Structure 1
Amino acid sequence: MTTSHDTSTDSPEPAESATSAALASVEPPLAGTEVEHLVASLERLRATFRWKAGGLDADGLALRIGASSLTLGNLLKHLALVEDVSFAWKLAGRSPGTGPGEAWAEADFEAGDWEFTSAAQDTPEQLYALWDGAVRRSRERLRDALAQGGLDLPTHQQDGDGHHPSLRRLLFDLLEEYGRHTGHADLLREAVDGVVGEDPPQG
């Protein structure tokens, strides 16, 4: 059995349901500002990814397809890390949370694929909490950055010539990352229990 319906306080289901309920109605506006288009597009991808990865037990999160090493579990951990690195270090030069007791205190950043290979040792509850917490922090950091300088705000990261990409570019990169991995999640979730679809169910 790969779908979790445990209603205990340790179950990932309440957090998953709350996330889906909050984001199910997200749709990029047909007419709106650039900020509204970008943020709504990101939120829609987040919602779809979280729905495709949500409510599973350890076996469901660990399922692989063919020769690929990707699982829904290691995608949850990878995208959680991408969120924290993007909106902490890349945006503002802050630690993504590597201090004692923080989300990435045990991270081995010397191993390029650490978050993928270590996810198998994490429980579903840990993986869901990691992603949910990272997204919550990202929303707060993005809101503050938009208030500070809008999409043209220079970020902390820089290229070899010392040029700092804008917050706009950071959001484009994150949209690309989520678009790619949400496609992976589509295939993985269908293989787990047959769930298919484009957007989280309404209501």
Structure 2
Amino acid sequence: MHPTPSDETITDEHGRPEPPFVAGEAATLLGFLDFQRATLAWKTRGLGEEGLRARLHPTGMTLAGLVKHLAWVEDYWFTQTAAGQPEPDPWAGVDWAADESWEWSSAVADGPEELRTTWETSVARSRASRSTVRSASSPRRPARFAQEASVARSRRASRVFGLTEGRNGISTTSAGTGTPGVSA
């Protein structure tokens, strides 16, 4: 998972783009969103099925679920809400009434590459959608959608990353518990 910042963006040692110091509302929010995307990529880089599927105490969340949920967040806020496009795959065929947390529950059956591809595809659609929304004479405000997506992402990621430690901030085995990815 490697979201790509623009060429003029400064990146840190982990490849995360620094948000702009001086910019308008939309550019600042989108800069922070790209920073958070890159943080997710960094924190989950190199994790295999075991690390992504481990249930994190006390929430029961998995990193696989977080990655797939954030893919859905990208598509919901940018593709559907901001750009007004129909719900894309893999979300279009989901029976949300039967499982309203489908992106979380189905993620444990997905392999690491499938999860990464789903997320990267959603991020690419988001970037394309925000360009369309910005250039269109539309009442839709890209800054508002970036803010909503950013807040949702930060809230969930901080819960998960706050429960984990180790390489890239993620533990794939935990001392004392004998359970992969679960902190004691």
What is the letter of the counterpart of residue 154 of structure 1? P
1:59-84 Cα deviation digits (max 9, x unpaired) = 00011222312111000110101111
* Identity %, equivalent residues: 31
**Closer, same or farther in 2 for the Cα pair 1:93/1:36, shift >3 Å?**
closer
Compared CA separation, residues 179 and 35, structure 1 to 2 (3 A): same
Is 1:172 the counterpart of 2:160 in the alignment? no
Query: How many matched pairs?
Result: 162
Question: 1:120 maps to what in 2?
Answer: 108
Does the 8 Å contact 2:52/2:64 carry over to 1?
A: yes
Name segments (4+ residues, structure 1) moved above 6 Å: 20-23
**1:16-165 alignment runs, 5 A limit:** 16=1, 18-19=2-3, 24-97=15-88, 102-110=89-97, 111-149=99-137, 153-155=138-140
Equivalent residues in 2 for 1:174-189, closer than 5 Å: 174-189=149-164
Shift of 1:105: 4.7
User: 1 or 2, which has the higher helix percentage?
Assistant: 1
SS of 1:119's partner is: helix
> How far does the alpha carbon of each residue in 1:130-174 deviate from its partner, in whole angstroms, 9 at most, with x for none?
00110011001101111224xxx423xxxxxxxxxx333222111
TM-score (norm 2): 0.77
SS in 2 for 1:76: helix
What TM-score, normalized by structure 1, do the two folds share?
0.71
Corresponding residue for residue 196 of structure 1: 169
Contact 1:53–1:189 (8 Å) recurs in 2 = no
Segments of 5+ residues of structure 1 without an aligned counterpart are 1-15, 156-165, 198-203
The 1:137–1:62 alpha-carbon spacing in structure 2 relative to 1, beyond 3 Å, is same
CA RMSD, Structure 1 to Structure 2 (Å): 2.3
Aligned counterpart, 2:181: none
Give distance in 2, aligned partners of 1:41 and 1:51. Answer: 15
Consecutive unaligned residues of structure 2, counting only runs of 5 or more, are 171-184
